[in-house]
Amino acid sequence: IAQTPFSLIETLVAHERVNALAFSPNGRFLASAGGIHDYAIRLWDLESKECLATLEGHTRRVVSLAFTPDSTRLASTGDATIRLWDVQNPRLTRIHSVLRGHQYTIYNVSFNEDGTKLASSSQDDTIRIWETATGRQLHCLAGRGGNEILAFRPGTDLLACSAGTDGSMRLVDVSNPQSETQIKSSRGHAHEPVCISFSPDGQRLVSSSSDHSVCLWDIEEGTLLYRIDAHKGYVHFVTFSPTGQHFISSSIDGIAQLWDAASGQCLHTFRAPRPYDGMNITGVTGISEA
């Protein structure tokens, strides 16, 4: 894959800025949300690159999106509610349910592997577990700081949560919320994780942080496999490939990087075209490198 030629496929003009993206598991759709004053979600057809629907209803900017594993529903949040959208027919998208219970802004949502449960974390310092089909709240767990990052371990009811500003994480069994395992290493992140992703087999977890680093963890052992000082800025996104052999990270430094999960080696660096790329400009001062 290191020798694979990569190229930009398409640029979708959608928002003033982009705060959240989610690909549907069936590979057909992309959901996007963003903008300081743009509270809408756009649903895109990945084959035609056409915007199929604009979803409106939130009262603040949307910051988290997640599809159910069967790609039939989309969860969105950014205010104190979670909206579940029925996207089976994208051109006839409608609200399936609105989940209420959190008191303040909800920052993250995550479905378990079969889509029957949804986890959410909020500024009200709680993590809530919901039944997807009915919208019923199943559990309310004490949080560790409000903006906790969430991800279900594949094939289980174990929920990984960032556990504090010391860079540690915890695993909670949502079918038995009193059961909790701490994952911590003094060689991990210096700051709290901002994104986490499980490998498809659930054996490893990759995390990123505002300290510019990416860490790979062994879940069975609860240990750190390695840490990479991956970027020159806040690493706001990281995710495994479908095979689990690679993961990709992106940062506010404007760069995305593809990594070999076994070795931690960077295989490719992506950078979107900048405003002055391709222009022959010499002898001019006062132009930024933006």
- Average pLDDT of adjacent 10-residue blocks, the chain of 290 residues: 70 84 95 87 94 93 95 96 94 91 95 96 94 95 81 94 74 83 72 92 94 92 89 92 95 92 95 62 54
Looking up residue 65, the CATH number of its domain turns out to be 2.130.10.10
Residue 140: predicted pLDDT: 93
At CB < 8 A and 24+ separation, what contacts does 214-217 make? Answer: 214/238, 214/247, 214/249, 214/259, 215/188, 215/189, 216/247, 216/261, 216/264, 217/169, 217/183, 217/188
pLDDT at 221: 86
Tell me whether residue 37 is in a domain.
Answer: yes
Q: Which two tokens stand for residue 178?
A: 């009193």
One domain for residues 144 and 160 = no
Q: What pLDDT is stored for residue 28 in this prediction?
A: 95
Domain that holds residue 252: 153-273
* Predicted TM-score (pTM) of this structure: 0.87
Q: Does any domain span residue 65?
A: yes
Q: How many domains does the chain have?
A: 2
Is the Cα torsion angle 181, 214, 144, 119 positive or negative in sign? negative
b/e per residue, 201-213, with b = 16+ CB within 10 A? ebebbbbbbbbbb
Q: Specify whether 245 is located in the same domain as 162.
A: yes
Cα–Cα distance, 151 to 285 (Å, whole number): 47
Determine the pLDDT at residue 120: 96
The reply to whether 279 falls in a domain is no
- Residue 18: predicted pLDDT: 85
Close Cβ partners of 235 (under 8 Å, ≥ 6 residues apart): 194, 195, 208, 209, 210, 212, 213, 214, 249, 250, 251
The token pair at 99 is 């989940």
My answer on whether 212 and 228 are in the same domain is yes
CB 21 within 8 A of CB 31: yes
210 in Cβ contact with 231 (< 8 Å): no
Q: What is the pLDDT of residue 164?
A: 64
